[in-house]
């Protein structure tokens, strides 16, 4: 339930009457709790906050917070203790034991499967289906998860210990835990020195043995069906986190910071996306990159994001010692190039995007493309448009019998391609005129494909990289470069490269009226050097660069 960020609706102080009601509800929910323990859990003179939240799936949850730690959470009028409470009162709930490696699965949102349950010598705890219970790791009585029994103890035994055991609601290291002081579980020696696995064999609770590995593998197999039930949004959240950790661990070096967040996404996270998958933040629960990075900063403590320029955020710090980052394993399909970056040898090379001009079917021209099943908004290459129009003409026998260079205008072509003033005047068109009129009445678009990313299609013409020269003061000139982001170039990296080339100062400025766009300003007329950098180093085609003619005449070179 708390494996993903939640949204806080309100935060108020618990009133006296509500405090008494909370105590009564806790006493009813946990009859084994003594009066003294109840007074310790809900002290009379300590301030308790009531925080109402919405979990990532929209569930309404009420949190009770004491000393900045959530102590209980209420879902559908039922109270559950958090791990913070269970570490002080480990006997509050019946417990199921499992092996340490299974914990990571539970933190990721998985339920505890029965093949992963370790049976103590005294047998399973006596629970009914839906009973509140806890999960702990062998060798330590400090619970690491809270949930509901998926079946009764008798049903678990009769099933041969197969299927789901505990429907996990909350775990150590999840977002509810992160809402508190983020302390770690205490070390509480387990009362059972000896445990029995589900096959009835005895084993000591020492290091991870082959038996434990088998149990972990069994739990993972039991989770496969559960993973298939993940929603597309949950899968995208998991992919987003994977690409984020992968990029931090293998792509980014300390010397590259600060790094624009948009550049981090475009040039690093996208390139870490596994083959066959597409990273799309809009399909995740975060919807926006800024929200995702905020969670990575506030709840995971992985990075620090700062607004260095008004309206433009940058990653200014990475916690390389963070346990979550250190324990992340780079997928096996990561190439040699990534390994080189990880070892500090070289940097990720820039590859210019593939840019293709497309044409979109307009409402007026839709009748021309119906036979080809191309509806309004469908985009095509110019060659495909030509092919479809040619097929239409031949199918309707519109080629002029006397001169095959001409096409006879039928009512459909008339409505689609001619102006009203031409209806009575034009009876046929040359093939080239027919094609040019068709393209002219379609919406021009362009498709951009960056390496390792899904293609994006936008209306209109792609903006060229614009180079201009402006005067500052009486006799000073500066070179301005904008629209670098359109081509996947980091303005900060370009500015640094130019500084080294021309030994002049360069600054970044927010581009008015353009979201997430930055303008590079460098002293002097440096158009020639900017052109060389873009054309030779970054391999940007000349047709996508505007303003190369503004170079000083004396500085032109071949």
- DSSP state letters, 94-144: -EEEE-TTHHHHHHTTPPEEGGGEEEETT-S----TT-EEEEEETT--S--
Per-residue confidence at 262, pLDDT binned at 50, 70, 90?
Answer: confident
CA 420, distance to chain mean position in Å, is: 51
Does some domain include residue 340?
no
> Are 96 and 27 in a shared domain?
yes
> Are 31 and 142 in a shared domain?
yes
- Residue with structure tokens 């705890």? 125
> Are 165 and 57 in a shared domain?
yes
The reported pTM is 0.41
**CATH number of the domain within which 438 lies:** 1.10.245.10
> Are 287 and 174 in a shared domain?
no
- pLDDT of 71 above 70: yes
> Are 21 and 132 in a shared domain?
yes
The helix (H) or strand (E) run that includes residue 226 is helix 210-228
- Please compute Rg for the chain using Cα positions: 32
> Are 151 and 46 in a shared domain?
yes
- pLDDT of 226 above 70: no
Write the pLDDT tens digit of every residue in 326-353.
888 887 654 433 333 333 333 456 788 8
Tell me how far apart the alpha carbons of residues 463 and 442 are, in angstroms, rounded to a whole number: 19
Does some domain include residue 184?
no
Looking at 179, 205, 222, the residue that finishes a domain is 179
Percent of the chain with pLDDT over 90: 35
> Are 315 and 373 in a shared domain?
no
Domain range enclosing 546:
463-550
Task: Tell me whether residue 401 is exposed, middle or buried, using C-beta atoms within 10 angstroms of its C-beta: 0 to 12, 13 to 18, 19 or more.
Answer: exposed
Nearest CA among 6, 124, 16, 131 for reference residue 56 = 6
Higher pLDDT, 151 or 347: 151
Q: What is the mean pLDDT of residues 133-139?
A: 92
Looking at 447, 480, 495, the residue that finishes a domain is 447
- Residue with structure tokens 């403590």? 301
Does some domain include residue 335?
no
Does some domain include residue 213?
no
Per-residue confidence at 391, pLDDT binned at 50, 70, 90?
Answer: very high
Taking the CB of residue 123, how many other CB atoms lie within 10 A of it?
Answer: 10
Higher pLDDT, 108 or 468: 468
- pLDDT of 435 above 70: yes
**CATH number of the domain within which 174 lies:** 3.10.400.20
> Are 154 and 21 in a shared domain?
yes
**Count of the separate structural domains present in the chain:** 4
Does some domain include residue 279?
yes
> Are 366 and 513 in a shared domain?
no
Long-range pairs of 344-350 with CB within 8 A, sequence gap ≥ 24: 344/253, 347/253, 348/251, 348/267, 348/268, 348/271, 350/267, 350/488, 350/489, 350/538
- pLDDT of 280 above 50: yes
> Are 89 and 125 in a shared domain?
yes
Tell me how far apart the alpha carbons of residues 401 and 428 are, in angstroms, rounded to a whole number: 12
Model pLDDT, residue 35: 87
**CATH number of the domain within which 474 lies:** 3.30.780.10
Higher pLDDT, 220 or 402: 402
Write the pLDDT tens digit of every residue in 441-462.
999 999 988 876 778 888 988 9
* Pair 195, 215: CB distance under 8 Å: no
Per-residue confidence at 80, pLDDT binned at 50, 70, 90?
Answer: very high
Q: What integer best gives the mean pLDDT of the chain?
A: 83
Looking at 447, 475, 498, the residue that finishes a domain is 447
- Residue with structure tokens 């900045």? 68
Tell me the β-bridge partners of 445. Answer: 358, 459
Tell me how far apart the alpha carbons of residues 264 and 312 are, in angstroms, rounded to a whole number: 13
- pLDDT of 372 above 70: yes
Does some domain include residue 394?
yes
Model pLDDT, residue 147: 95
- pLDDT of 82 above 90: yes
Does some domain include residue 226?
no
> Are 160 and 24 in a shared domain?
yes
> Are 521 and 433 in a shared domain?
no
Does some domain include residue 219?
no
- Residue with structure tokens 């180093």? 537
Per-residue confidence at 264, pLDDT binned at 50, 70, 90?
Answer: confident
């Amino acid at each position: 339930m708390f494996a993903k960020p939640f949204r806080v609706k309100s935060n108020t102080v618990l009133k006296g009457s509500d405090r008494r009601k909370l105590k009564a509800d806790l006493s009813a929910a946990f009859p084994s709790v003594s009066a003294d323990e109840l007074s310790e859990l809900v002290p009379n003179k300590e301030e308790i906050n009531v925080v109402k939240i919405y979990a990532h799936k929209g569930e309404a949850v009420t949190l009770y917070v004491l000393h900045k730690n959530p102590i209980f959470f209420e879902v559908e009028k039922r109270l559950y203790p958090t791990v913070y409470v269970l570490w002080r009162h480990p006997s509050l709930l019946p417990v199921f034991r499992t092996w340490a490696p299974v914990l990571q699965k539970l933190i990721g949102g998985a339920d505890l499967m029965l093949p992963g349950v370790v049976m103590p010598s005294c047998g399973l705890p006596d629970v009914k289906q839906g009973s509140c219970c806890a999960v702990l790791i062998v060798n330590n009585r400090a619970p690491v998860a809270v949930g509901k029994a998926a079946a009764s103890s008798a049903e678990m035994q009769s099933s041969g210990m197969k299927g789901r055991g505990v429907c996990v609601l909350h775990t150590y290291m999840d977002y509810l835990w992160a809402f508190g002081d983020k302390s770690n579980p205490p070390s509480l020696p387990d009362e059972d020195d000896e445990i029995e696995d589900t096959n009835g064999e005895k084993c000591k609770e020492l290091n991870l043995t082959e038996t434990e590995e088998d149990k972990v593998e069994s739990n993972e197999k039991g989770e496969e069906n559960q993973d298939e039930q993940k929603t597309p949004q949950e899968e995208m959240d998991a992919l987003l986190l994977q690409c984020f950790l992968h990029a931090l661990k293998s792509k980014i070096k300390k010397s590259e910071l600060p790094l624009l967040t948009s550049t981090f996404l475009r040039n690093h996270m996208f390139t870490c996306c596994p083959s066959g998958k597409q990273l799309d933040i809009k399909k995740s629960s975060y919807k926006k990159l800024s929200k995702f990075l905020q969670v990575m900063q506030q709840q995971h403590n992985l990075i620090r994001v700062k607004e260095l320029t008004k309206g433009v955020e940058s990653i200014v710090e990475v916690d390389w010692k963070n346990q979550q980052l250190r324990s992340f394993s780079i997928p096996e399909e990561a190439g040699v190039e990534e390994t080189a970056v990880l070892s500090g040898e070289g940097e990720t090379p820039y590859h210019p995007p593939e840019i293709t001009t497309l044409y979109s079917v307009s409402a007026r021209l839709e009748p021309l493309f119906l036979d080809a099943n191309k509806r309004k908004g469908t985009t095509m290459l110019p060659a495909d448009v030509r092919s479809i129009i040619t097929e239409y003409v031949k199918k309707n026998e519109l080629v002029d019998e006397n001169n095959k260079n001409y096409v006879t205008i039928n009512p459909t072509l008339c409505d689609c391609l001619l102006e009203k003033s031409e209806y009575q005047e034009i009876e046929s068109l040359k093939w080239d005129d027919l094609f040019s009129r068709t393209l002219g009445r379609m919406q021009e678009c362009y498709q951009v494909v960056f390496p390792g990313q899904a293609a994006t299609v936008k209306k209109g013409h792609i903006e060229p990289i614009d180079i201009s020269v402006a005067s500052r003061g009486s006799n000073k000139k500066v070179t301005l470069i904008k629209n670098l982001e359109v081509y996947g170039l980091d303005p900060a990296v370009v500015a640094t490269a130019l500084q080294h080339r021309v030994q002049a100062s360069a600054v970044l400025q927010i581009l008015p009226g353009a979201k997430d766009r930055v303008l590079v300003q460098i002293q002097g007329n440096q158009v020639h050097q900017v052109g060389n950098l873009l054309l030779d180093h970054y391999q940007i085609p000349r047709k996508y660069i505007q303003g190369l003619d503004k170079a000083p005449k004396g500085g032109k070179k071949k």
